[in-house]
Chains A and B, each alone.
Chain A
């Protein structure tokens, strides 16, 4: 009997309609993406960057640890022997088309040379532009070092 009464008065349906009507007057939670952006968290793993020493020399010593750690073969390093027998970095390539942003390269780096930035908008019109070379990574590194100074606790 109670079930029939419930059906006849549409009480459960009306309850649901009340919920939607109430929600209509709540403030919206949308972020208007191209106009507003969500700031990523501090440990967000965006695209890679190469840091420089304060005197302008490369931090990366071409030890190949990051390239060895990488599960998808993203990093490709070219190096040569310098005058005093040390390793000299020639090119450092990061292929973003394959990268899965796991952060293992960053953890592997003994010199804190390769880091991940908070940049998540890196779509390009051409696929070759997604392969970042040494100079691109240094450029991003400058941005990262500024970001790091501003976000230090």
Chain B
């Protein structure tokens, strides 16, 4: 009981503490990919920039626009953080298991789907054309990526026989990493995960070039910041999940003797995927809406369905 509570504190604390450095790293990586140094002024190489941003955001005026749905307007940003933290609580990192759950993977998927509601509610409640369009986009996007993502996960679950992360990692320790068996599921999951957390090139609800700022146009101060808290926590959670499903989670050399190494391996592997989201953001322009939906419905969904059959065959021959 105490163990679980400490683990929960560790994981939630990690999520909350990791967000400011990740924003800093993102800006640094994006900057260097465009041959500029990124934040450079506050502290050594701009290391204190997240702190300066936090101070600025806390002291900013909190504006609730006229004619907005006040209750939903206040609820929406906290919704994102809340759903992201709930998803984080069931994800094990190495030997640290906060909430043991047989259907943990399912729970993560459910929670990350719920976090989209933050965008939809914010778009609806803002009483702003652009925010409303962004909310509509988020709603259409969620229909697009949920299905292929679900089928990609289904392939993994059929192959490994469990929704429980511990079981999934155990299977991979026996048979080898999941990506060796399910490369197609990995690619589909990777693309859909970027759509799910609303990162470029699928950041259509944000769309700062055509929708001003999308769903967060009317938000300011800490409410604005909590959207990004939710988004970055989602990045970490989804990166952890993709390592668990396809890259053996905390498995690696000498984990049996030193369980701490498992945590390090897991965080390093997940760190690569966090970096990947920055990398994609620096590389690709945003998809147009009429380009994105065909990708999801016409390409990814049939591929994912066929892939489920392949996974079933693989599972049949392995057992």
The reply to whether A30 and B279 form a contact with Cβ atoms under 8 Å apart is: no
In the complex, A24→B40 CA distance in Å? 16
Q: Which residue of B lies closest to A26 (CB)?
A: B35
Report B184 CB to chain A, min CB distance, Å: 9
Checking A10, A23, A28 against B37 with a beta-carbon cut-off of 8 angstroms, the contacting residue is: A28
The reply to whether B32 and A23 form a contact with Cβ atoms under 8 Å apart is: yes
Checking B32, B280, B284 against A24 with a beta-carbon cut-off of 8 angstroms, the contacting residue is: B32
Checking A10, A20, A29, A32 against B33 with a beta-carbon cut-off of 8 angstroms, the contacting residue is: A20
In the complex, A28→B280 CA distance in Å? 20
Contact indicator per residue, chain B 7-35, by CB within 8 Å of chain A (1) or not (0): 00000000000000000000001011111
Taking residues whose C-beta sits less than 8 angstroms from the other chain, chain B's interface range is 10 to 19
When distances are taken between beta carbons in the complex, the residues of chain B under 8 Å from A27 are 35
Report A117 CB to chain B, min CB distance, Å: 29
- With A17-B283, A20-B279: A30-B29 Cβ-Cβ less than 8 Å: no
When distances are taken between beta carbons in the complex, the residues of chain B under 8 Å from A13 are 283-284
**Chief secondary structure at chain B's binding surface:** helix
CB contacts under 8 Å to A, within B222-276, are: none
- With A13-B284, A16-B284, A32-B40: A21-B279 Cβ-Cβ less than 8 Å: yes
The reply to whether A20 and B282 form a contact with Cβ atoms under 8 Å apart is: yes
When distances are taken between beta carbons in the complex, the residues of chain A under 8 Å from B31 are 28
**Using a Cβ cutoff of 8 Å, how many contacts connect chains A and B?**
37
The reply to whether A28 and B32 form a contact with Cβ atoms under 8 Å apart is: yes
Report A13 CB to chain B, min CB distance, Å: 7
B36 contacts the other chain (Cβ, under 8 Å)?
Answer: yes
The reply to whether B36 and A24 form a contact with Cβ atoms under 8 Å apart is: no
Checking A10, A19, A24, A29 against B29 with a beta-carbon cut-off of 8 angstroms, the contacting residue is: A24
Q: Which residue of A lies closest to B283 (CB)?
A: A20
**Which A residues are closer than 8 A to B by beta carbons?**
10, 13, 16-17, 19-21, 23-30, 32
17 extra interface residue pairs, beta carbon distance < 8 Å, beyond A23-B34, A32-B40: A16-B284, A17-B280, A20-B279, A20-B282, A21-B279, A23-B35, A24-B33, A26-B35, A28-B35, A28-B36, A28-B37, A29-B35, A29-B36, A30-B35, A30-B36, A30-B37, A30-B40
**Which B residues are closer than 8 A to A by beta carbons?**
29, 31-37, 40, 187, 279-280, 282-284
The 6 A-B pairs at the shortest CB distance, nearest first, are namely A24-B32, A20-B283, A20-B33, A30-B36, A28-B37, A24-B33
Q: List 28 A-B contacts (CB under 8 A).
A: A10-B187, A13-B283, A13-B284, A17-B279, A17-B280, A17-B283, A20-B33, A20-B282, A21-B33, A21-B279, A23-B33, A23-B34, A23-B35, A24-B29, A24-B32, A24-B33, A25-B32, A27-B35, A28-B31, A28-B32, A28-B35, A28-B36, A28-B37, A29-B35, A29-B36, A30-B35, A30-B36, A30-B40
